[in-house]
Structures are given as C-alpha cells and as structure tokens.
Chain A
C-alpha cells in the first residue's frame, strides 16, 4: 500500500497542478492539505452534508466521496476560485447582503451548489432553489436567508448580463 503512489494532474481554479498521492487519498484532502485550499470544509466524510461540495468539470461533487486519482485530468472549481481578486462573485455578494450564513462552515458547499444551479437555470423559482439546495445541510440559518441570497444573485446576474 505505502508503495503505491500515483501522479495526478488537476486543474484547480484554472491553475495546473501535479500531485503524487496514494490511490486512497480523498479529493477533499488533496485540495485542503496538498494544495492548501482550505476553503472547502469537510463536515461528515460520508457524503450526506454537502459541505465539501466542489465542481468537477462543472458538476457538483462531494469531494469527500471522490478520490484524487478519479479527478485526474479534470477541471475543479472551489470556493477560492469564485471571486476575481478582491471582487466577490455575485453569489458571495448576495450571501453577504442577505446574511445567508452564520458560522460559515457549510457556506462554500452551498455556494458551489448554487453556482451549478444558476449555470443551468438562471431564473429559478423558490421551489427550484430549495430543491437544488436540499442535499446540503446548514445547521445555523434555517435556509431562508440562503434561498433569498440565491434569488437575489440570480437577479443581479441577469441585470449585469443585460447591462
């Protein structure tokens, strides 16, 4: 086991990386510990809370349920890649304005899930938002402020696209 080290190429937030990992290394650990991208939080390690959600080739994935080797050659987006420099992503801005977070631990997972939602459905109804977010657990907010934030971000993005 200790002799099995595999080279993996990952593109994370647009940056190419080459890592040498054990086949059993979780993608979440590779991101957090090998690449120092600690914005992705791990809440349960059994795929049920959604805190560690990242996008792999544009699709939301629980990084605690994927091995780093399975992500070889893929494009990965994490919460650190959302902002442009100091300029927040419209979803981050809306979460700030609507107070869509309290402790913030689940927030990166919600943001990445919402990025995927708005990518496919730029004008979601409240029900569609709730249904898209229902695989992520937040213990603090009671969800409404998160739903409000996603709604507001969708409107802001539409307005920005028009302008």
Chain B
C-alpha cells in the first residue's frame, strides 16, 4: 500500500517501473515448459509406490508395452542401466534414483515410467503394470526412527541418523554460567512445501545421430548444475544444451530437478524421440524436491534479569525424509543469522538429521533461516514473558547498534550493515499500539479475543557456496564461489542487449537488468533488450535463490557496463580528439565535460565500432560488447575445526513485522485484522516489485503459521497430496499488508543493494504466532508449534480455561 519515496541520487534505481517481464506473461505468449511441443514428442507418466517402505519383488510390464501408442516402459532397474543416480550434494552415501531400484522408501516414490503418444495413453499403460511387493515396516516418526533397532531406510547406513554434530561458537558454557535465568522451550516447526503453481517438468530431446541432447526444463539452476545433470544422463556436458524456460514459481523447489529430467532423459535415450515429463499436482506434492524443514527444537536462551541476552543453545532433530540431496543445507543456512539482530555473544547448535519413509526434504523460501527466525523470536517472546519486560523494549535493548557494522556474529558470518532500532522505530511510528491495546481491551469485555504480535528478524541474502559443505569435516566438494554473469552488447544502431545466464522464476531479472543498464548508460529501460541464454554458451551463473539475484545481477551489469563504456570512451576520445578522462556519459551521449555540444551518441559510437574499423584507434577490435562475471562480494573460508564458519551470507537485511489477529475461541478461526511490515534490504531497485515480494512472502508466512502442513498418516501415507488437503492462503485470508521500506545500503555491493526475496516469509510466522498467543493470553496459552489450526486453538482454549 505505502511506499516511501526514495531520494537516493539515482535516475532509475528506486523507481516503480513496470516490469519488463509482464506483457508476454499477461498476453499468454510467454513459454513455460509445458507449453512447448517438439515434432515427434512423446509424453511420459510415472507409476508411484502405494507403500512407504517395500521391496519390489517383481514387475511385469509386458501388457503395458503391448498397448498401442506406447513406445517405452522402464522399471527402476532398467533405467539405472541408462542413467546414473540423481545428483546428491551430501558427503554421506545416500543414493537416490529417478525410479526406485529394489525398494521404495516413501509412498509416492516413482517405480515405473512410460513414454507414449499422449499422456492419456501413458497413464492407461501404467494401469497395466503389475508389481509384486513385499511391504516392509515403515519409520514415519523421526524420534522413533532414531531408536536403536528401528527399521533402516537405507541398509548401507549404520542408523537412520545420517548426520549428528554439535557446533559451538564462543564460550557457551561460560556465558550460560553467568546467566540469571535460562529460558527453555521445546518447539515444533512443521513440514511445509513450496507448491509453486507450475509443477516441475522437462522435455529431453536426445538425437541418436549426433549423441547430443537438448533439454527444456523449468530448472532454475541451469547454468549451475547442468554439468552435474549431464553426468547423471551419462552424457558429456558439452553435448547437452539446456534451454531456459519461463518458470511458474519455484520458491526453492526447482533447483536441480534430477528426478524429472532423469525420467524424461532416460526415456528419450531409449526411444530416440523427444519426451516430455510434467509432474501433475499429485506427483508434485508427493515427490517433488520441495518438502521443507520438519523439526523438533530444544532451545535455551541465557539472559540476565535486566534482559540482556548472553548465549543461545539449540538442539534440533530434523526429519529429512528418505533421501539427503542437499545434506543439512537447511540447518547450515540458518547459522548465517542464528543469533538474529541481537548481540548474543556465543551459541551452540546441535543437529541430528534423521531419515524416515517420507519424501525427502530440500529447501523452501528461507531455506531454514525462516525456521531459525521463528525459534529465536519465540525465545525472545518467552524471555519477555518470564522477565516481565515489554517485547519491543527487550529487543531494542539487545540490538546490534549501527556503529558496530560490519559485525562478526558468533558463527563467523559477517553482517554488512543495519539499523535495527531505526526499522523498529519506523514500524512503531506507523502502528498505533495504544489504539490496538484499547481495541484489545474493549473486545475482551465483549468476549472477543484480539492479539498483537511483533517480530524483528534478519533476512540474509547472497549465499556463498561454502555453506554447502562446511558442516562436514571432510567435504566431498569444496566449492567456493557463487558467480553471476552477463554479456552486454551495444549494436551498430545503439541498441543495448544484455544476455543473462540465469532464469526467470517469478522474480524480475529483466527489470533489474534493464534498470541498471539505464542507470549506467543514461537510456530508457524500456529500450534495453534482455535475453536468457542456454548452457551451450553459458558463462558462470548460480541462478536465483537465497535472495541473491538482484544483488549479483546488479554487480554483473555494472561490471559489464564499465567494460563497454571504457571502449566507448576510447572510441569517442579518438574521434573527438579528447582525453578519455575528459569525457562523460550523460543521457545516452558521450560528451566532453563542460562542452556538451562536443560529443557522440551511443548509436554513433556503435556504428563506428561495428563498421568503421579504419576510424578506430589502432589495434582496437571491431564490435562493442563486454562480459562480466561477478563473484560473491564478500566470502571467507571456514576454519579447520569449524568454530568459525567464515563469512558466507553477509548481505544482511532486516525486518520488523507487526500483526493483529482476532481469534474466535469457539471455532478456533484466526483472522488477520492488520499486518504491517518494515523491511530494510539496502538500496531498493524497484519499490513496487519489492513490495510484491514482501507481500507474497508474508502470505506464505501466514500459510505456514495458520494453514500449511504436509501430513503423513502414522503408517506413512501422504495425506496432503491435493490442494484440497494442502491448504494455501487465498485472497480471503491474506489481508492488505502495509509495507514500508527502510534503507541502509550495503557497503559491499553495487549501489548498496541487498536481497529481499525471502524476507516476507522469513519474518511473518513469529509475528503471527505471537499475535495469536497474545489473543489467547486470558487462557494461559503458550504456543510452541505451527500451523495454528482451528482444532489446536479450540483444544488449547479448552485446556487453559
């Protein structure tokens, strides 16, 4: 609703420009993966396991193969002869195949794939497949799975606890010894799923003549992981060309897509035809790489009676499901900001990752830092209650101060800049606390229950690759960069084209790129053309994710612009007989400082650069283009014993959310009456787009706080495999959220930009939880779990009353 006007000194950065991406999306001409049909293309469908844990004794697919229109039927064993296991980024030996081999480990795991002339025929064929199963006892509850003697999900492992390590940062024991009080809570974060509106899919087109494969897929790490996927497909990476497609949302669920690409790729290799495999919604909810953190926490916060936070201890058990694709990334991620915006000197985090018979956990917007924020803010609220100090006051007392930046927090990560007190002040200025306290009191007299919740939390952005492996003493890989590149060219008539190697996944990369080009060249962003490139000519790119793309693209475009402008200045200086240092670029024209009539337009320079070689300085190549690969702006290595993880997520945003809810204690319904959010993500490139990201993120935060949970029955069946069972917020539940931007630029990035894509979802859950808890204060309710469903509210009220 409200956006503060920025006066940041830029011409285009900070303006509410319309998005470049939108016209083709609005007119239905943008091509998503499922919109593409190639000549001769076949359609795949997959048969999924009805059992959470079972041995596959025999598969008879002979009848399916005979069905007219069927080109190939593959079992897991057959597919494993064509392609390798799905890429796994864990050091632990947990092997996953696109189709299960020998046994299935969760209900919904793929076992047979068919390629046929249509999806209808492919699904008909699946009905004809006969499988003889030997059901095995399933481990569904993570705590039960940890017990000695529990059935093993993977026989090659010693137990279902696939990772168990405690990290200690600073003098935790000493700081706890100094505490007047230790606040303790047992907290439960539920399994949610990204559920983008577009499911995952791939079209793989293998050419048996050349041995090359074209892939069209909504993977959003294409230039990051294509070489790994090529290895899975048993093809040399340079023989695989991966084409970027418009992506209908991801929220972290489309980073690799090994299973989807593997199924389409293997079927294409055996048929020699292009094969499309698009998940349907049940495929997606049951088996996509989008289930997220599912954790029990034992948390302890050491405090003084005056309200100073001294140290923080967290022990978590995390249900990873049946596989371990990203290892414990969701837990390492939150170590970037585990102590939040507060001056907590030391902390300890123990992590037990447990394998169970469920779909595997990967990442979802926030990637575990969403969880960390909720846990920490729950503990701060608990401390406020136990110490009898107002929540906002307690937070203010413990904030890192503006002059303390760059601030090294206990784990070794560095916070670049911030003004947490300023953000809180802005929030409270726009929120009439007294008015709402009065409303609350008046409502209680009528038997209505209104509550107010406030959260102040971090939103880290721009990850470094060290977070993928620093939890392991002997990492399998030790990647140390997350680059992003662009190629910028000026044509002979002055048109500027930028090629990206990242994809569109619902963010605004074309808008960001054209805005920064406009800023650098003094042209209208509408005149800038932005392209996506395939992996065949790909420069290094780690793609969108971890709120990095706006930061990294801004740096890359600025770098490429500098190269191109440097050449433009050399050409202009040569032709104008001036020194390059005496020139300036203003409103699309290179001119002599102080004599603006003496200059050349970008088009004039472009024409000379392309077609007037003899007028260029000697030894200068024709053409006018520059590529730039921006590396991570600030990252350092972890130390050997991992008591210091190094700087790995240093571009640190911050937000304050205030929620007001009304709880119907009869029905348990929670209604959000008001929601206010102040975000500080440094310099804002496009306030309206950022506002959209924040509001959308808050809607997802409201989802996990009140509605969303992937539930499994006690015997391991997924009970949330449709949108009728997995509830997403609609326009009826999400209020008109007030958004304000506070600006503390980053000292480490181009223009001071920080990433803001995940913040809404990362900060809203604790504010809503506290608001409900505040509403239910008369009943003595303490909330230690989400989602806060009507059933739970009614039961809490019943117990407390």
Which residues A45-85 have CB closer than 8 A to chain B? 45-46, 48-49, 51, 78-80, 82-83
Contact status of A138 and B197, CB under 8 A, knowing A46-B724, A101-B22, A103-B248: yes
Question: Is B34 a contact of A78 with CB atoms below 8 Å?
Answer: no
Q: Which residues of B contact A134 (CB under 8 A)?
A: 730-732
Selected contact of B249 from candidates A22, A136, A140, CB within 8 Å: A140
Answer whether residue B345 sits at the interface, using C-beta atoms and an 8 A cutoff.
no
Q: Which residues of chain A have C-beta atoms less than 8 A from B120's C-beta? A: 22, 24-25
A9 proximal to B (CB < 8 A): no
CA distance A25 to B700 in the complex (A): 34
Picked from A22, A96, A111, A140, the residue with its CB within 8 Å of the CB of B696 is A140
A54 to chain B, nearest CB (A): 11
- Given A88-B26, A95-B22, A139-B728, 12 new contacts (CB under 8 A): A33-B37, A43-B197, A43-B199, A44-B723, A48-B722, A49-B723, A105-B197, A107-B26, A131-B732, A139-B249, A140-B197, A140-B249
Cβ of B25 and Cβ of A107 under 8 Å apart? Answer: yes
Separation of A8 and B602 alpha carbons in the complex (Å): 56
Cβ of A96 to closest chain B Cβ, rounded Å: 5
List the B side residues contacting A126 at CB < 8 Å.
736
Is B246 at the interface (CB under 8 A from chain A)? yes
* B249 nearest CB neighbor, chain A only: A103
**In the complex, chain A residues whose CB is within 8 Å of the CB of B32:** 38, 41, 105
Contact of B154 with A by CB under 8 A: no
Which of the residues A38, A97, A103, A130 comes within 8 Å of B35, measured between beta carbons? Answer: A38
Q: Check if B471 is an interface residue, CB within 8 A of chain A.
A: no
| Cβ–Cβ contact B68 & A2, under 8 A | yes
Tell me the smallest distance from the CB of A63 to a CB of chain B, in Å: 13
Residues of chain B within 8 A (CB-CB) of A88 are 23, 26-27
Interfacial chain A residues near B23, Cβ < 8 Å: 88, 96
Q: Does A16 contact B (CB under 8 A)?
A: no
- Minimum Cβ distance to chain A for residue B246 (Å): 7
> Closest 4 CB pairs between A and B?
A39-B28, A105-B248, A104-B25, A103-B506
- Take A48-B724, A104-B246, A107-B25 as given contacts and tell me if A139 and B19 are in contact as well, using a CB distance cutoff of 8 Å: no
- CB pair B19–A96 under 8 Å, yes or no, is yes
Q: Give which listed residue, B21, B280, B689, B696, contacts A45 with CB less than 8 A.
A: B280
The answer to whether the Cβ of A143 comes within 8 Å of any Cβ in the partner chain is yes
The residue of chain A having its C-beta at the shortest distance from the C-beta of B247 within the complex is: A103
Measured CB to CB, the nearest residue on chain B to A97 is B18
Q: How far is the CA of A46 from the CA of B730 in the complex (A)?
A: 17
Q: How far is the CA of A49 from the CA of B285 in the complex (A)?
A: 14
Minimum distance in angstroms from B512 CB to a CB of chain A: 13
Shortest C-beta distance, A92 to chain B (Å), equals 4
Chain A CB within 10 Å, residue with most, of B119, B198, B251, B760: B198
Which residues of B (509-531) have their CB < 8 Å from a CB of A?
A: none
| Interface pair B27/A92, CB less than 8 Å apart | yes
**CA of A38 to CA of B68 in the docked complex: distance in angstroms?**
27
Collect the chain A residues with CB atoms within 8 Å of residue B724's CB.
46, 48
Contact across chains for A92 and B31 when beta carbons are under 8 A apart:
no
**When chains A and B are docked, how far (Å) is the Cα of A102 from the Cα of B689?**
9
Q: Which of A24, A49, A102, A136 has the most CB of B within 10 A?
A: A102
Provided the pairs A104-B21, A130-B731, A146-B731 are in contact, do residues A99 and B281 lie with their beta carbons within 8 angstroms? no
**A139 close to B26 (CB less than 8 A):** no
| Bound Cα distance from A107 to B248, whole angstroms | 10
- Contacting pair A137 B19 (CB below 8 A): no
Residues of A within 8 A of B731 (CB): 129-131, 133-134, 136, 143, 146-147
Residue of B nearest to A33 (CB): B37
A143 pairs with B734, CB closer than 8 A = yes
Quick check: is B737 within 8 A (CB to CB) of the other chain?
yes
Question: Does B195 lie at the interface of the complex (its beta carbon under 8 Å from any beta carbon of A)?
Answer: yes
Residues of A within 8 A of B37 (CB): 33
Contact mask for chain A residues 112-135; partner B; CB cutoff 8 A; 1 contact, 0 none = 000000000000001001110111
A142 touches B723 (CB 8 A): no
Whether the pair B698, A48 counts as a contact (CB closer than 8 A) is no
Say whether B617 faces chain A, with CB atoms less than 8 Å apart.
Answer: no
Q: Contact: B692 with A96, CB < 8 Å? A: no
Which one of A42, A111, A136, A145 contacts B34 once the chains associate, using CB atoms below 8 Å? A42
Whether A137 lies near B248 (C-beta < 8 A) is no
* Minimal beta-carbon separation of B190 from chain A (angstroms): 18
- Is the beta-carbon distance between B22 and A103 smaller than 8 angstroms? no
B85 at interface by CB-CB < 8 Å? no
Find out whether the CB atom of A40 lies under 8 angstroms from the CB atom of B196: no
Given A46-B722, A130-B732, A142-B699, check contact A106 B197 (CB 8 Å).
Answer: yes
Encode B691-708 as 1/0 by CB contact (under 8 A) with A.
111011111100000000
Q: Are B281 and A39 in contact, CB atoms less than 8 angstroms apart?
A: no
User: Which residue among A48, A135, A142, A143 has the maximum number of chain B CB atoms within 10 Å of its CB?
Assistant: A142
Interface residues of A (CB under 8 A from B): 2, 22, 24-25, 29, 32-33, 37-46, 48-49, 51, 78-80, 82-83, 88, 92, 95-99, 101-108, 111, 126, 129-131, 133-147
Chain A residues closer than 8 Å to B691, beta-carbon distance:
145
Given known pairs A40-B28, A103-B248, A144-B695, the reply for A137 and B197 (CB within 8 Å) is yes
- Kindly provide the distance from the CB of B252 to the nearest chain A CB, expressed in whole angstroms: 12
Residue of B whose beta carbon sits closest to that of A36 = B37
Q: Which residue among A46, A51, A136 has the maximum number of chain B CB atoms within 10 Å of its CB?
A: A46
A–B pairs, 23, beta carbons within 8 Å: A2-B68, A32-B34, A41-B34, A42-B34, A43-B197, A44-B281, A48-B723, A95-B26, A99-B19, A103-B25, A104-B22, A133-B731, A137-B197, A139-B251, A140-B506, A140-B692, A142-B695, A142-B696, A142-B697, A142-B734, A143-B695, A144-B737, A145-B691
Closest to B37 in A: A33
Q: Give the one of A43, A83, A99 with max B CB within 10 A.
A: A99
Chain A, residue nearest B16 (CB): A99
Min Cβ gap B511→A in Å is 9
Residues of chain A within 8 A (CB-CB) of B25 are 101, 103-104, 107
Measured between beta carbons, the chain B residues less than 8 angstroms from A108 are 28
- Separation of A82 and B246 alpha carbons in the complex (Å): 21
- Chain A residue at minimal CB-CB distance from B695: A142
In whole angstroms, what is the CA distance A147 to B150 when docked? Answer: 52
A46 in contact with B18 given A103-B196, A105-B197 (CB within 8 Å):
no
- How long is the Cα–Cα vector from A76 to B1 in the complex, in angstroms? 36
Bound: A129/B731 CA distance, A: 9
The residue in B508, B696, B728 that gathers the most chain A C-beta atoms within 10 A of its C-beta is: B696
List of B residues within 8 angstroms of A106 by Cβ: 197
Task: Give the contacts of B86-107 with A (CB-CB under 8 A).
Answer: none
CB distance from B684 to the nearest CB of A (A): 14
Give the docked Cα–Cα distance between A66 and B731 (Å).
25
Q: What separation, in Å, do the CA atoms of A141 and B734 have in the docked complex?
A: 10
Closest to A80 in B: B28
Nearest Cβ distance between residue B688 and chain A, in whole angstroms? 5
Decide yes or no whether B30 CB sits under 8 A from chain A.
yes
Most chain A Cβ neighbours within 10 Å, of B506, B695, B731: B731
Chain B proximity of A153: nearest CB distance (Å): 12
Query: Which chain B residue shows the least CB distance to A92?
Result: B26
Minimum CB–CB distance from A146 to chain B (whole Å) comes to 7
Task: Find out whether the CB atom of B198 lies under 8 angstroms from the CB atom of A105.
Answer: yes
CA distance A51 to B280 in the complex (A): 14
Provide the bound-state CA to CA distance between A48 and B18, in Å. Answer: 30
Chain A residues with Cβ below 8 Å from B507 are 102
B21's nearest neighbour on chain A, judged by CB, is A104
CB pair B696–A39 under 8 Å, yes or no, is no
**Bound-state Cα–Cα, A42 to B731, Å:** 20
Q: Are B722 and A96 in contact (CB under 8 A)?
A: no
Instruction: Tell me which residues across on chain B come within 8 A of A49, comparing CB atoms.
Output: 197, 281, 723
**A143 cross-chain contacts in B, Cβ below 8 A:** 695, 699, 730-731, 734
Set of chain A residues within 8 Å of B29, measured between Cβ atoms: 39
**Which residues in chain B, 234-254, are within 8 Å of chain A measured between CB atoms?**
246-249, 251
Measured CA separation A11–B724 after assembly (Å): 32
Closest Cβ of chain B to A116, distance in Å, is 15
* B282-301 near A? 1/0 per residue, CB < 8 Å: 00000000000000000000
> Cβ of A44: which chain B residues have Cβ within 8 Å of it?
281, 722-723
